[in-house]
Each structure stands twice: as structure tokens, then as C-alpha cells.
């Protein structure tokens, strides 16, 4: 980044004057509950962090003296490491609590864990949990800001925000954009947060999945639903693929991975049904050869997957920045 641009960004990131609030709430529990102007403000702020992150000197002192705890009850690669990096780049003390090595694996309840954490006086708690509503429960029990990093099948707000940032960088806006979310919608918190956010921002959202992988109350989302990839992808601008979440399935919902790929896996032929120049996204982790062909995932001309990871750090920095604005 040219030195002149850096100089214009740094003062806004390091100013001692209190910057304008962005979020009404002191927590980020879901896309439900935040407004379109709040989303736009977060995306704009994340752009400044995306620029900062591409420079050699990536640090700000905005969270100096603050403590961020990452509490992950479910496996995570991208989300946990990007919150850790975001906190460290902003000068916070970051503690990663691994549930496997904590007392939670000895049977401590979520409420007991909350009480323990409360005594450590964190400023921000980032939590991922297998139960829908866990982040909201903790937000009621703790004094600090709580960020939902994925709760069961409910929401994953920072994933939807980073997806929106990635889309906006390529398409400029959300209006007149058709986004097809394909695959295991039934078990996906990513789908739920993206449906909310993209619809709120004016995009046309479609869901494409076999009947067994659609939620039984799918009409509640108010979006078009397709069970055929050809019809679902026809004319769309963005194809967002989802992982088969086998860990959340109680029985076999697809005949076999091979069969699934044949009908619902994204390959060149199925991508050709979408608009010419359509872009492909995936929140990760990917099952290559199950929901997406490797050559598409790795094709830098169509795949935004690496950029999604990069924007994940920028979005998480913007969220931490926004939450810190409400702190005393």
C-alpha cells in the first residue's frame, strides 16, 4: 500500500477521540437484530482493515489493555484463528480456551464456565457452541461483549458479514444480484445468517438442495427454493456452496458422497448453468469431490474462497473495533 494511503488510514484507526458508534447492541449475536445501515458501516470499516492487513505494519493499539477470550466448543480453523489474529493485531490480550483441555470436558456446564470466565473479567468473549442460543445465554450472564462465532444451526454472523464484504468488493452492491446457496441448508448456520443478510441488503437469494437437506420450515425464509441444480443456478451471479454437515445429521440424508456429487456437487458443467462470469464461494471447511470439484475451488478466476478467508480477518477486526466503541 502506498505510504500516503497508510497515513490517511492510521489516524482514523488510532485516534484517541471516541469514534462514532456503529452497533446499537454491545453484542453481536446474529444478523437478526442488526440493521442494513449497521451492516454497511461494518463493511466500510472492514475495508479500512483489509487495506491495513495488506500493508507491512498491521498493528493498531485500539484494543490495548483489553482481554479477548476465544471459547470454542466446536472445531474451528478459520473463525478461531482469524479472531485470534484480529485481537492480536489490535493490541488485545487474547486467550484461546480449548474446550478439550478445559473442565468443560469433565462435565462443567455452560453456566459454570460462564461464571469462571466472568471472574477473569474479559472485555470480549467470542463463543462457538453446538447449541443454538448458547451465545445469547452467555450474553445475559456476563458483563462483557459476546460475539457469536456459530451456535448450532442458528447463526454465524461474522461469516455472513465476511461473505457480504467479499461479494461487495467484486460486484459493488447487492441489488440486482442473485445468490444461490447450495447444499446442506438444513444444518447450516452460515445459510441462515446469509439468507438474512443478503435479503436485507436487497439481493435475490435462492436455496438449492435435495429435499432431505432443506429445513422443514423452509418457506419461512421467504426465498425461492429449488431441488434441481440446473434450474437453481440458471442466471445467478454468485454460487455459494455448503459442506455436508455429517456431524449434525442423525441419519443418512444422502445416498452416498458419490451420488451427492453427481447431482449437487459443483463442477464445470453445473457452473455453466449460472451467469457467465459467476463467482463461487464456500465458507470452509470444503469436502473436495463431495460438494465442490477441486478444479473449481482452486480456479482463481472463479473462486473467492481464499479472499473469503482474508476478508474474515478484516471483518473480525471491524467487529471488535465496533464493539470496543461502546466500552467504558
Task: List interacting residues with ligand ASP (CB under 6 A).
Answer: 150, 156, 189-190, 243, 245, 283-284
- CA distances in angstroms from 220 to 141, 166, 283, listed in the order given: 31, 27, 23
Query: CB-wise, 71 or 190, nearer to ligand ASP?
Result: 190
Query: CB-wise, 189 or 206, nearer to ligand ASP?
Result: 189
CB of 153 to ligand ASP, least distance (A): 9
CB of 270 to ligand ASP, least distance (A): 20
CB of 286 to ligand ASP, least distance (A): 9
- Please give the backbone phi and psi of residue 266, each rounded to the nearest 5 degrees, phi first: -80, 115
Query: CB-wise, 123 or 151, nearer to ligand ASP?
Result: 151
Of all residues in the shown chain, the one whose CB is closest to ligand ASP is: 243
Closest CA to 208 of 234, 247, 169, 189: 234
Query: CB-wise, 190 or 203, nearer to ligand ASP?
Result: 190
- SS3 of 101-155: the string is HCHHHHCCCHHHHHHHHHHCCCCEEEEEECCCCHHHHHHHHCCCEEEEEEECCCE
CB of 119 to ligand ASP, least distance (A): 28
CB of 118 to ligand ASP, least distance (A): 25
Closest CA to 167 of 207, 201, 209: 201
CA–CA separation, 320 and 102 (whole Å): 25
CB of 7 to ligand ASP, least distance (A): 36
CA–CA separation, 308 and 36 (whole Å): 21
CA–CA separation, 263 and 283 (whole Å): 21
Specify the DSSP class assigned to residue 33: T
SS3 71: strand
Query: CB-wise, 102 or 245, nearer to ligand ASP?
Result: 245
Contact between residue 9 and residue 48 where contact means Cβ atoms under 8 Å apart: yes
Query: CB-wise, 155 or 237, nearer to ligand ASP?
Result: 155
Amino acid at each position: 500500500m502506498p505510504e500516503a494511503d497508510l497515513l490517511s488510514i492510521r489516524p482514523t484507526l488510532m485516534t484517541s477521540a471516541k469514534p462514532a458508534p456503529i452497533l446499537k447492541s454491545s453484542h453481536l449475536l446474529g444478523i437478526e437484530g442488526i440493521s442494513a445501515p449497521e451492516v454497511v458501516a461494518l463493511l466500510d470499516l472492514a475495508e479500512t482493515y483489509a487495506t491495513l492487513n495488506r500493508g507491512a505494519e498491521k498493528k493498531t493499539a485500539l484494543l490495548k489493555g483489553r482481554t479477548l477470550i476465544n471459547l470454542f466448543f466446536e472445531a474451528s480453523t478459520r473463525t478461531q484463528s482469524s479472531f485470534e489474529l484480529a485481537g492480536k493485531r489490535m493490541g488485545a490480550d487474547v486467550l484461546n480456551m480449548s474446550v478439550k483441555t478445559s473442565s468443560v470436558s469433565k462435565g462443567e456446564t455452560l453456566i459454570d464456565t460462564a461464571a469462571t470466565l466472568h471472574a477473569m473479567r474479559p472485555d470480549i468473549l467470542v463463543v462457538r457452541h453446538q447449541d443454538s442460543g448458547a451465545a445469547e445465554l452467555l450474553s445475559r450472564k456476563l458483563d462483557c461483549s459476546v460475539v457469536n462465532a456459530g451456535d448450532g444451526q442458528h447463526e454465524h454472523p461474522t461469516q455472513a458479514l465476511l461473505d457480504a464484504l467479499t461479494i461487495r468488493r467484486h460486484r459493488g452492491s447487492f441489488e440486482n444480484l442473485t445468490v444461490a446457496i447450495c447444499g446442506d441448508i438444513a444444518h447450516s448456520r452460515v445459510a441462515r445468517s446469509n439468507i438474512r443478510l443478503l435479503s436485507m441488503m436487497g439481493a435475490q437469494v435462492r436455496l438449492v438442495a435435495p429435499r432431505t437437506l432443506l429445513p422443514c420450515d423452509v418457506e419461512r425464509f421467504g426465498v425461492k427454493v429449488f431441488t434441481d441444480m440446473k434450474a437453481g443456478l440458471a442466471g445467478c451471479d454468485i454460487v455459494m456452496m455448503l459442506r455436508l454437515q455429517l456431524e449434525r445429521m442423525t441419519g443418512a440424508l444422502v445416498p452416498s458422497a458419490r451420488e451427492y456429487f453427481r447431482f449437487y456437487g459443483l463442477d464445470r458443467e453445473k457452473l455453466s448453468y449460472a451467469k457467465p462470469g459467476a463467482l463461487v464461494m464456500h465458507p470452509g471447511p470444503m469436502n473436495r469431490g463431495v460438494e465442490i470439484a477441486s478444479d473449481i475451488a482452486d480456479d482463481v478466476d472463479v473462486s473467492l474462497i481464499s479472499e473469503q478467508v482474508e476478508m474474515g480477518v478484516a471483518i473480525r477486526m471491524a467487529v471488535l473495533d465496533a464493539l470496543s466503541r461502546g466500552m467504558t
